[in-house]
């Protein structure tokens, strides 16, 4: 294992990412179908900032649990609220409530958990404001995608821009599917997480594309490798860099997600950390196994690279035939080394 890792660091291991493109496409298609089914069946649990509603905060008391708080508020409002730990407080999100319902909740919570009514704060967020937040989030996402397309088209080419956009959409759909299946709330913090992972995935793709551009720029009419082989070679040299970058970024995010939300009870952190955790993993995968194979598929259709591939394959076939003929040729008689014993010289008596 240490030998494999050292070879990986030196770039001595060539992994045929592009040659296994059907495997990657099948895996990505499966993940996207599962994600879309989750979104269609369960839908996204939008936070109060998007759909509007009422937010009630009060201090956590010893012995209180999420289920107890949910049951207490449900008895008043008639539906299951969303209960989260927000530091030392409970944060309860419900549908929009009027003043009488809020007062009733304050009294019920005060009696059940032993907190004063003044310590139970409430906030009502209108649906129109939530709709405005949603609209701005979609506008921000659209502007980001357009900016990415323009930048990559100018810095590289439109094929790389298209491959990167497909990878970004792939990352967004799968991350949203995880939120749909797990039931995590989608809040403004989640949207920030989505934009962050898009930027991270784009960074990873740009690093890979830049190496591919550098390697393929040296290919001429007498090149000994095709565009596909050159792209695989570039991936092998950037693989360890991508893995190191991803690992160092995922470890602190995992600490926030699992330690911060589980041990420290900072429930609001999971809205951001889950998007980052899933998005970074999927983004690393997509930059290597989705964006690059798509780019190579598009580039292989260009006459320039098709002609180069034909020449390289012809040279490889000719070399293979020559090697086969050499292996089958018998050893000539003249090349055999024969030795004759020396004459037996006897003295005549």
Same domain, 294 and 221: yes
Which comes out higher in pLDDT, residue 89 or 32?
Answer: 32
DSSP 342: P
Same domain, 101 and 142: no
Same domain, 260 and 295: yes
Same domain, 232 and 108: no
pTM assigned to the model:
0.74
DSSP 255: I
pLDDT in the model for residue 235: 83
Of 92, 125, 158, the position where a domain reaches its end is 125
Given a cut of 60, is residue 349 above it in pLDDT? Answer: no
Is 245 domain-assigned?
yes
Distance (Å, whole) CA 31 – CA 165: 17
Count of domains for the chain = 2
Is 335 domain-assigned?
no
Is 287 domain-assigned?
yes
Q: What is the CATH number of the domain that holds 147?
A: 1.20.1640.10
Distance (Å, whole) CA 223 – CA 312: 7
pLDDT in the model for residue 267: 55
SS3 90: strand
Same domain, 30 and 172: yes
DSSP string, 51-89: H-EEEEEEE--TT--HHHHHHHHHHHHSSPPEEEEETTE
pLDDT in the model for residue 330: 59
Of 104, 125, 146, the position where a domain reaches its end is 125
Residue 16: pLDDT band by 50, 70, 90 thresholds? confident
DSSP string, 283-336: HHHHIIIIIHHHHHHHHTTSHHHHHHHHHHHHHHHHHHHHHHHHHHSPPPGGGS
Given a cut of 90, is residue 27 above it in pLDDT? Answer: yes
Read off the pLDDT of residues 167-207 as tens digits, 9 standing for 90 and up.
Answer: 989 998 999 999 899 888 787 778 878 888 888 888 888 88
Same domain, 237 and 174: yes
Same domain, 25 and 134: yes
Same domain, 133 and 213: yes
Is 241 domain-assigned?
yes
Given a cut of 80, is residue 119 above it in pLDDT? Answer: no
Write out the residue range of the structural domain in which residue 188 sits: 7-45+129-305
pLDDT in the model for residue 338: 47
Same domain, 121 and 138: no
Residue 57: pLDDT band by 50, 70, 90 thresholds? confident
Q: Measuring CA to CA, which residue among 254, 249, 314 is closest to residue 284?
A: 249
pLDDT in the model for residue 14: 65
As a whole number, mean pLDDT of residues 287-308 equals 86
Distance (Å, whole) CA 122 – CA 102: 7
CA 212, 213, 214, 218 torsion-angle sign: positive
Given a cut of 90, is residue 19 above it in pLDDT? Answer: no
Whether the Cβ atoms of residue 90 and residue 72 lie closer than 8 Å to each other: no
Whether the Cβ atoms of residue 257 and residue 174 lie closer than 8 Å to each other: no
């Amino acid at each position: 294992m240490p030998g494999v890792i050292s070879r990986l660091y030196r770039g001595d291991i060539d992994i045929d990412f592009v040659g296994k493109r059907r495997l990657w496409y099948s895996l990505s298609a499966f993940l996207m179908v599962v994600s879309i089914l989750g979104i269609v069946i369960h839908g996204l649990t939008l936070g109060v900032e998007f759909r509007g509603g009422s937010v009630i905060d009060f201090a956590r008391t010893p012995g209180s649990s999420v289920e107890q708080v949910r049951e207490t508020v449900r008895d008043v409002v008639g539906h299951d609220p969303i209960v989260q730990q927000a530091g030392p407080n409970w944060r309860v999100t419900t549908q929009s409530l009027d003043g009488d319902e809020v007062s009733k909740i304050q009294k019920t919570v005060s009696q059940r958990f032993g907190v004063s009514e003044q310590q139970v704060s409430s906030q009502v967020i209108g649906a129109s404001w939530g709709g405005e937040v949603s609209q701005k989030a979609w506008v921000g996402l659209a502007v980001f995608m357009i900016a990415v397309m323009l930048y990559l088209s100018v810095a590289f080419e439109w094929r790389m821009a298209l491959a990167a956009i497909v990878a970004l959409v792939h990352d967004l759909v799968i991350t949203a599917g995880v939120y749909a299946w797990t039931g995590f709330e989608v809040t403004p913090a989640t949207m920030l997480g989505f934009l962050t992972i898009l930027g991270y995935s784009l960074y990873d793709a740009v690093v890979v594309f830049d190496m591919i551009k550098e390697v393929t720029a040296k290919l001429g009419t007498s090149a000994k490798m095709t565009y596909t082989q050159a792209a695989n070679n570039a991936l092998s040299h950037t693989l360890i860099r991508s893995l190191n970058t991803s690992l160092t970024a995922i470890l602190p995010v995992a600490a926030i997600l699992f330690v911060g939300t589980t041990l420290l009870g900072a429930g609001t952190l999971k809205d951001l950390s889950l998007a980052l955790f899933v998005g970074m993993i999927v983004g690393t995968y997509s930059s290597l196994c989705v964006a690059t194979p798509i780019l190579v598929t598009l580039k292989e259709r260009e006459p320039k690279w098709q002609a180069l591939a034909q020449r390289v394959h012809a040279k490889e076939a000719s070399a293979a035939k020559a090697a086969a003929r050499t292996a089958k040729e018998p050893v000539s008689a003249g090349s055999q080394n024969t030795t004759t014993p020396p004459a037996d010289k006897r003295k005549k008596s």
